[in-house]
Structure 1
């Protein structure tokens, strides 16, 4: 079982009463208001549709926009998309792009340390929402790590008017749409469902990545921090649950890199690319992913082996894993080159040679993976010998 050490901060904090009242009060207000509205007016399809649409628009403006575009620059987006993210991201009530991304870049730079704004080692509540409620006594914001974002006029405008934009887009607009469609009762309902309740759901979806995704899950790609992969969390966080992958490969526009990984943000970005509204989508080479998985698995097996038999000679195992690492890198490089040639060659020229070459390279990679499995089997056998 993983040992978690609770960290006590060296910084002194005061309560940010505005944030505290908003974060703790809005779930209560939203629940009471929804019950009252349901009893008084009933809940119609308009309220449900507005809730879903605003949940998707505001939620993915955070994940695909604030996070993957602005924080990590994992792709480029057209100006209309940047404006859309700026408007509906403000409606998510998670602060401006500039402030959110400054915090997030510090999270990656200082993960699990006292300079990590949502340091998971300080406990679930702190990383979930406590860090938003509490404010450092010496707490002037330093935005020196987001000067690239400050130079963007749309983002600078959003930062200056964040609360006004958020209130109009996140609260007034859903209510106005409901009023236009169904009158006063529907307008109030859409304000409650598309504004208040939706804000609670989007908030805690984001917060769970900062908290739960650093506590529960697996670590296939890196073990140097607390980030975890959780397919379950991805189901209701627009794909953000593959958090260990994200910490290992921050520049990748995907969090779930396999086609079947549930990652709505990845699919949105890909769709925008097809529509020529996004470009420069960054993807981690498959070799880097496989080598990261190999290194993590080998480190775990080596630790288990040495714990069982501390006199074992690790030289042969180290040599084998080094060979497999180089073989994977070389085979994936050749495979990428063959795929590129296959795309650029005429069909007649490549119909026999290149497809056959692709199959041979895929077979080589499978053989290397089989040898890696044999390595781990040999290590487990060695661990059983006392």
Structure 2
């Protein structure tokens, strides 16, 4: 269940400057697009990995044991939940706090996902939010779908990205001994967690072949990357904007189904401190929030921040595109009052 106001200590209010803040940020680093310099070694790296992933998918569908299929799914979910609930909502946005067992769990899963160390991932993500859709945004969606999806990883960082990347205060990340340890030994832990561990388990416990275990895991890794990348690309280009029509991020259901609840991207970029990363926290399309709520119930997560309903409503009226189900065009079968009562009851449950 989603926590009510008694469960959270970080309920934040909107200031008068919030409405125009995104428009102002769009102007900060506006300039001619910096020239892209392709890193061909990275291109070849991704080509090889994708060929291996396609072979792994074929093996998954034709010869992998049922336990291997279940194992791959479990490893995918482990990595994704530690990206969404861990490095994203916990460390990048500090939308809630976690005790050390949960922080360790998130660090292990984030290492399994192999998307750089937590401190580097969170730093880049903070830059992305501050300079979204400018030349200082590492994966600027205004350069097109492919660039924002994966092309940015095949190019050298632009001058603007490098300069603005020095701005975020990440002292809070280095203050965590778990993150310092991961950063220091990342190149040792990552191969073990991302490639060795997921391959060895099927070999040892149910005698899967080495070829199948290895390439199926490569498929898991590449699929996980594309799932995360879709938040940078599709969720920044396609969908409705019920909270802020002046920014690129949009609500995209298809993305949520494979990234455990990161579909509510227009909401998230409007209220990045909300631990739910969406207005509603218990829907099946926001499994990350379900996970965080479960961790809160057992005391491993606490100080969950969320945005009050009246603040959301004001923002919808000020900058929304009219697509909000309650305060936008409305629901054809229910009155606004009926839907509002449903939301209130939901939030208090």
Q: TM-score normalised to the size of structure 1?
A: 0.70
> 2:269 maps to what in 1?
247
Matched, 1:26 2:49: yes
Where does the alignment leave 5 or more consecutive residues of structure 1 unmatched? Answer: 1-6, 302-323, 325-364, 370-386
> 1:111 maps to what in 2?
132
Deviation at 1:285, TM superposition (A): 0.5
Instruction: Summarize the Cα distance change of 1:22–1:89 in structure 2 as closer, same or farther, 3 Å threshold.
Output: farther
Matched, 1:56 2:27: no
Aligned with residue 145 of structure 2, among 120, 124, 136? 124
Deviation at 1:85, TM superposition (A): 1.4
> 1:172 maps to what in 2?
196
Deviation at 1:36, TM superposition (A): 5.9
Deviation at 1:247, TM superposition (A): 0.5
Deviations 1:4-25 (A, max 9, x none): xxx9854344334453333332
Give the CA RMSD over aligned residues.
2.7
In the TM superposition, what are the counterparts of 1:259-270 in structure 2 within 5 Å? 259-260=282-283, 262-270=285-293
> 2:122 maps to what in 1?
101
Are the aligned partners of 2:52 and 2:215 in contact in 1 as well (CA < 8 Å)? no
In the TM superposition, what are the counterparts of 1:33-48 in structure 2 within 5 Å? 33-35=56-58, 42-48=63-69
> Could you say what secondary structure the match of 2:241 adopts?
coil
Instruction: Summarize the Cα distance change of 1:150–1:260 in structure 2 as closer, same or farther, 3 Å threshold.
Output: same
Deviations 1:92-143 (A, max 9, x none): 1211111111111011101111111111111111110111111136558637
Larger C-alpha radius of gyration, 1 or 2?
Answer: 1
In structure 2, C-alpha distance between the alignment counterparts of 1:23 and 1:64, rounded to whole Å: 26
Deviations 1:46-80 (A, max 9, x none): 21111011000011111111100010001111111
> Could you say what secondary structure the match of 1:61 adopts?
helix
> 1:89 maps to what in 2?
110
Are the aligned partners of 1:68 and 1:253 in contact in 2 as well (CA < 8 Å)? yes
In structure 1, C-alpha distance between the alignment counterparts of 2:66 and 2:312, rounded to whole Å: 44
Deviation at 1:197, TM superposition (A): 0.7
In structure 2, C-alpha distance between the alignment counterparts of 1:48 and 1:77, rounded to whole Å: 31
> 1:308 maps to what in 2?
none
In structure 1, C-alpha distance between the alignment counterparts of 2:179 and 2:55, rounded to whole Å: 35
Instruction: Summarize the Cα distance change of 1:8–1:182 in structure 2 as closer, same or farther, 3 Å threshold.
Output: farther
Higher helix share: 1
Aligned with residue 233 of structure 1, among 252, 255, 258? 255
Q: How many residue pairs were aligned?
A: 296
Q: Which has the higher contact order (CA 8 A, sep 6+)?
A: 2
Deviation at 1:216, TM superposition (A): 0.7
Are the aligned partners of 1:65 and 1:85 in contact in 2 as well (CA < 8 Å)? yes
> 1:213 maps to what in 2?
235
Aligned with residue 317 of structure 2, among 294, 297, 321? 294
Are the aligned partners of 1:16 and 1:135 in contact in 2 as well (CA < 8 Å)? yes
Q: TM-score normalised to the size of structure 2?
A: 0.78
Instruction: Summarize the Cα distance change of 1:92–1:270 in structure 2 as closer, same or farther, 3 Å threshold.
Output: same
Instruction: Report the more deviating stretch, 171-180 or 160-169.
Output: 160-169
Deviation at 1:34, TM superposition (A): 4.7
Are the aligned partners of 1:228 and 1:243 in contact in 2 as well (CA < 8 Å)? yes
In structure 1, C-alpha distance between the alignment counterparts of 2:186 and 2:167, rounded to whole Å: 16
In structure 2, C-alpha distance between the alignment counterparts of 1:269 and 1:67, rounded to whole Å: 12
Where does the alignment leave 5 or more consecutive residues of structure 2 unmatched? Answer: 1-29, 328-335, 341-349
> Could you say what secondary structure the match of 2:136 adopts?
coil
Deviation at 1:150, TM superposition (A): 1.8
Instruction: Summarize the Cα distance change of 1:36–1:52 in structure 2 as closer, same or farther, 3 Å threshold.
Output: closer
In structure 2, C-alpha distance between the alignment counterparts of 1:18 and 1:150, rounded to whole Å: 30
> 1:376 maps to what in 2?
none
Are the aligned partners of 1:239 and 1:265 in contact in 2 as well (CA < 8 Å)? yes
Matched, 1:191 2:214: yes
> Could you say what secondary structure the match of 1:136 adopts?
coil
In structure 2, C-alpha distance between the alignment counterparts of 1:292 and 1:64, rounded to whole Å: 25
